[in-house]
């Protein structure tokens, strides 16, 4: 029966890999005294290390001549390879600093149109200026009736960030609050109710546009109105906040939407914010990421950028 060849782990376990650092100093300095000073060893300690290295490689490595030392052919052959090995080990243990200007790669963000419309333009503007080699991918979330927004892409590594108002608790997820948002009632600028306050009775009589996503916000609004004896008469269901606002701008329907997503149309004179006699529920937007990226320098930089953008919107 053939004996099993030893594994690389067992072979390396029998070696003192610290000696490779000592060897690097000897190859650089080609002098025992200078190598000892560079390594913080005494000269006798460096001499003992050289003897151990000669035994490890079965080679003299440094050959003493009349005016100093010369590398043996074996030492010259491993010089560049050793330099690369130590460089790679250093990068494994201590990741290189992230330089946005020279960075390459992509970021994959999952978000609904509200978060994207609110933050993405400024995020992309910053990236174009500071990290032009990076690419941003935006991905529409998967929604389920039971769980709301599906967080599995960021948990399994298919996405880097989720920007959302949905809440999720998971052992591998980190969460950071980005925005506090208010909800407002809107109507087309020429709507009869646009220039006056809307009574609860009228609020219940008018046709509404409702953003049809599975989750807590529409339910929370309905619960708030129900507590005042009002239910919305939903006429149209749409899949995005921006589409709801544009639908209101061109019809006699009204809607209750996040304030930031409707402000461009308010400023353009297409819709008006209508006062209602009830405090509409606010919500909060978070960024979520998985622990696999928590200390990644590029990811840390990107999360900081997203947070800074969000703070400019406060």
**pLDDT above 50 for 235:** yes
Span 126-181, pLDDT tens digits: 999 999 999 999 999 988 767 788 999 999 999 999 999 998 888 899 999 999 99
Domains and CATH numbers, the chain: 8-93 (1.10.10.10), 100-180+285-312 (3.40.190.10), 183-281 (3.40.190.10)
Average pLDDT over residues 216-239: 85
3-state class (DSSP) for residue 177: strand
89-124 pLDDT tens trace: 877 777 667 899 999 999 999 999 999 999 999 999
Interatomic CA distance for residues 186 and 111, integer angstroms: 23
Buried b (16+ CB within 10 A) or exposed e, 59-94: bbbbeeeeeebebbeebeebeeebeeeeeeeeeeee
Residue 243 CA to residue 47 CA, distance in Å, equals 77
Q: Could you report the per-residue pLDDT of 255-282, keeping only the tens digit for each? A: 999 999 999 999 999 999 999 999 999 9
Residue-wise pLDDT for 240-257, tens only, equals: 999 999 999 999 999 999
Residues 35-60 have a mean pLDDT of 89
Q: How do residues 7-33 score in pLDDT, each as one tens digit? A: 655 555 656 778 888 888 988 888 888
pLDDT interval class at 216 (50, 70, 90) = very low
């Amino acid at each position: 029966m053939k004996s099993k060849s030893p594994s690389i782990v067992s072979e390396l376990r029998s070696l003192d890999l610290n000696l490779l650092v000592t060897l690097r100093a000897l190859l650089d300095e080609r002098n025992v005294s200078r190598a000892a000073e560079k390594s913080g060893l005494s000269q006798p300690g460096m001499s003992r290390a050289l003897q151990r290295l000669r035994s490890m490689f079965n080679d003299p490595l440094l050959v003493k001549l009349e005016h100093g030392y010369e590398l043996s052919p074996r030492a010259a052959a491993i010089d560049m390879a050793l330099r690369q090995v130590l460089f790679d080990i250093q990068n494994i243990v201590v990741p290189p600093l992230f330089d946005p200007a020279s960075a390459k790669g992509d970021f994959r963000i999952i978000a609904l149109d509200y978060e994207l419309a609110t933050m993405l333009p400024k995020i992309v503007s910053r990236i174009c200026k500071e990290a032009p080699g990076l690419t941003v991918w935006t991905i529409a979330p998967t929604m389920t009736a039971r769980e709301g927004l599906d967080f599995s892409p960021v948990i399994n590594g298919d996405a880097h960030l989720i920007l959302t108002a949905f809440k999720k608790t998971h052992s591998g997820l980190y969460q950071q609050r980005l925005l506090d948002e208010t909800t407002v009632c809107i109507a087309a600028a020429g709507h009869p109710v646009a220039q006056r306050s809307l009574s609860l009775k009228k609020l219940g009589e008018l046709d509404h546009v409702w953003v049809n996503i599975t989750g807590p916000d529409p339910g929370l609004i309905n619960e708030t109105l129900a507590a005042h004896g009002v239910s919305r008469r939903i006429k149209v269901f749409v899949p995005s906040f921006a589409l709801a606002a544009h639908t209101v701008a061109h019809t006699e329907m009204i809607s209750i939407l996040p304030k930031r997503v409707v402000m461009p149309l308010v400023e353009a004179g297409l819709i008006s914010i209508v006062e209602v006699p009830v405090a509409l529920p606010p919500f909060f937007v978070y960024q979520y990421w998985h622990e696999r990226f928590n200390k990644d320098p590029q990811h840390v930089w990107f999360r900081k950028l997203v947070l800074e953008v969000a703070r400019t919107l406060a």
